[in-house]
Amino acid sequence: MVKLPVRLESIANMIPPVSTIADIGTDHGLLPVYLLQTGTTKKAIVSDVNPRPLEKARKTAQLHGMESAMDFRLGDGLQVLEPGEAKVIIIAGMGGLLINSFLYSCPQKARNADYLILQPMQAISEVREYLLANGYRVLEDQLVKEKNHFYHLIKVKQEELPATGIGTLEAMIGIQWKKQPPELLREYIVRLLDQMETKKDGLLKSNSLNQRALSRCEKQIKQLEEVIEWLQV
């Protein structure tokens, strides 16, 4: 059985048994092989925009005897899929803006999946903003720590909900932040506060003070400090 790192294992745990999954930007192919081994899916479509990672995934599949259950596709984002052929679409380990661009350029394909699991590496707030502005229902928004890194796993369904905005706090620490284990959330916020204080110092030292950016930064720090207080009650 493939041994997954915590980040990928947490994604796997979000997926109930389905007929077909698609792993977009698969690289090593570990997650789809694991999902086949555990019987979570019967078939896995795996894609990558680059041939080398796709070959890597094929090797992982061969090593574990899963090649016949996998469909290897070279291509960009969701363009490799036909609408409705994958019940679950996983897009993990990529930048948030790239993930948004996949959803934006193939809305029909996103809509026809039962749900999508997104794990952006950067621009995480922008992904949450995009999802709420574009009719997605957020089913789970989970914080995971692996070694010294925090990851955000967002499980969504396209339901054509009315577009809504998102508060700064929810965009930063997650739509379901109150559901996170308090110690983990506290640790994450302490990390964020450290980054925000560094940003604030940079803004204050800058020759041309950007008052708007400074106010925004101070507001975010205040909100994060309030959550820390709330967590201690």
Ligand X SMILES: C[S@@+](CC[C@H](N)C(=O)[O-])C[C@H]1O[C@@H](n2cnc3c(N)ncnc32)[C@H](O)[C@@H]1O
In angstroms, what is the minimal distance from the CB of 204 to ligand X?
35
Query: Both tokens of residue 204?
Result: 């204050």
Select from 32, 93, 135, 174 the one that contacts ligand X (CB under 6 A): 93
Backbone φ, ψ for residue 39 (5° rounding): 75, 15
Name the β-bridge partners of 88. Answer: 21, 115
Our finding on whether 141 is near ligand X (CB under 6 A) is no
Our finding on whether 94 is near ligand X (CB under 6 A) is yes
Query: Both tokens of residue 224?
Result: 């994060």
> x/- string (CB under 6 A) for ligand X, residues 13-52?
-----------xxxx-------------------xxxx--
Length of the chain: 233
Select from 71, 76, 114, 140 the one that contacts ligand X (CB under 6 A): 76
| Burial label, 215 (beta-carbon count in 10 A; 0-12, 13-18, 19+) | exposed
Our finding on whether 117 is near ligand X (CB under 6 A) is no
In angstroms, what is the minimal distance from the CB of 120 to ligand X?
10
Our finding on whether 144 is near ligand X (CB under 6 A) is no
Give every CB contact of residue 173 below 8 A, 6+ residues apart in sequence. Answer: 143, 185, 188, 189, 192, 224, 227
Number of residues counted as binding ligand X (CB under 6 A): 14
For ligand X, which stretch binds (CB under 6 A), given 13-21, 91-99, 131-139, 218-226?
A: 91-99
Select from 92, 113, 143, 153 the one that contacts ligand X (CB under 6 A): 92
Which whole-number Å values give the CA distances from 26 to 133, 163, 168, in the listed order? 27, 30, 31
* Closest alpha carbon to 92 in 11, 34, 199: 11
Q: Which helix (H) or strand (E) holds 179?
A: none
Our finding on whether 78 is near ligand X (CB under 6 A) is no
Applying CB under 6 A, the residues found at the interface with ligand X are: 24-27, 47-50, 53, 76-77, 92-94
